[in-house]
Amino acid sequence: MSTTPCEQCPLRGLKYFRDFSAPELDFVSRFKTGELSVEPGAIVLMEGSHSAHLYTILQGWGFRYKTLEDGRRQILNYLMPGDLVGLQGTVMGEMQHSVEALSPITLCVFERGRLNSLFSDHPSLAYDITWIAASEERMLDNHLLSIGRRTALERAAYLLAFLYNKAVRVGLLEKNGPIPVTQQHVADTLGLSIVHTNKTLRKLADRELIRWTDKGCIVLDDAGLAKTAGWEADSRNARPFI
């Protein structure tokens, strides 16, 4: 499969992402050095590695996670089109989390070495990267609040409403499409056991907020989920991406 030129980037058509000026687009298209395709379940980046690359998700679902010595796993966040991958490793050296594909994904590959010229020659793009980092931080704040202070049912509802909203906005999910996770993923995100996660998701299904299928979770009533989570989705538009 040939690579997608940035000029024809499918994300650019979405209202959710901001437009580029011509010089920005020109720079980014030279910044991009290739594409990477990864199969579901495969590791994109490994904790402890020193990757020479920075990536943006072009299509598909992935997730970031960390593990403790004894195998306990915590999923930190989910990755969707437009998300920057590997910034921590790029800016600070070693990766301290891993990244795994949830569906087949393709990533745009950027040359780390050219990041300096991005900062020096395209301050607006540098600002975008900061914006994205701040946005990621904000998501983590929300997850931390959720895991720390919400009950199991609220947590689950929050997670699914969050994933649904974000995925729809980036064009990754149509209204009745499945979020491609297993209950094990949900458990590792919420900090719960898989058994209790199952019972919790069952309650959400009984309330007809979701339906669980072999392809993942179908959100039937995202407003209802947000309500049981005590959360309101952030509806701002026009976020940047690289």
Partner DNA sequence: CGCGTGTTTGACGCCGATCAAAAACGGTGG
Partner DNA sequence: CCACCGTTTTTGATCGGCGTCAAACACGCG
| Residues of this chain that bind DNA (CB under 7 A) | 151-153, 182-184, 191-202, 212, 214
Tell me the backbone φ, ψ of residue 102, rounded to 5 degrees: -100, -35
The item of DNA, a copy of itself, none sharing an interface with residue 237, based on CB under 5 to 8 Å by kind, is: none
Which token pair is 194? 């898989």
Contact 195, 201 (CB under 8 A): no
211 binds, among DNA, a copy of itself, none (CB under 5 to 8 A by kind): none
Q: Which is nearer to a copy of itself, 186 or 218 (CB)?
A: 186
Nearest distance from C-beta of residue 69 to a copy of itself, angstroms: 6
Residues 155 and 146: beta-carbon distance below 8 Å: yes
Return phi, psi of residue 217, to 5°. Answer: -100, 130
Q: Of these partners, DNA, a copy of itself, none, which one is at the site of residue 116 (CB under 5 to 8 Å by kind)?
A: a copy of itself
Return the residues of window 166-195 that contact a copy of itself according to CB under 8 A. 188-191
In the list DNA, a copy of itself, none, the entry touching 74 (Cβ below 5 to 8 angstroms by class) is a copy of itself
Restricted to residues 73-92, the positions that interact with a copy of itself (CB under 8 A) are 73-74, 76, 87-88, 91-92
Is residue 119 involved in binding a copy of itself (CB under 8 A)? yes
| Shortest separation between residue 61's beta carbon and DNA, angstroms | 14
Phi-psi region of 93 (alpha: psi -120 to 50; beta: other; left: phi over 0): left
Strands 53-59 and 84-85: what pairing?
A: antiparallel
From the list a copy of itself, DNA, none, pick the one residue 198 interacts with, judged by a Cβ distance below 5 to 8 Å according to partner type. Answer: DNA
Query: Could you say which of a copy of itself, DNA, none residue 114 binds, taking C-beta under 5 to 8 angstroms by partner kind?
Result: none
Residue 43: DSSP 8-state = E
Residues 6+ apart with CB under 8 A from 218: 176, 177, 178, 179, 210, 211, 212
Query: Bridge-partner residues for 179, per DSSP?
Result: 217
Nearest-angstrom CA–CA distance, 103 and 38: 8
Of 237, 196, 241, which Cα lies nearest the Cα of 58? 241
Minimal distance, residue 227 CB to a copy of itself, in Å: 12
- Token readout for 191 is 């900090």
Q: Does 136 bind a copy of itself (CB under 8 A)?
A: yes
* Nearest distance from C-beta of residue 139 to a copy of itself, angstroms: 9
**Stretch of 3-11, 27-35, 119-127, 201-209 lying at the interface with a copy of itself (CB under 8 A):** 119-127
User: For residues 142 and 182, which CB has a smaller minimum distance to a copy of itself in the complex?
Assistant: 142
- Binding to a copy of itself in span 1-60, by CB under 8 A: none
DSSP state of 52: S
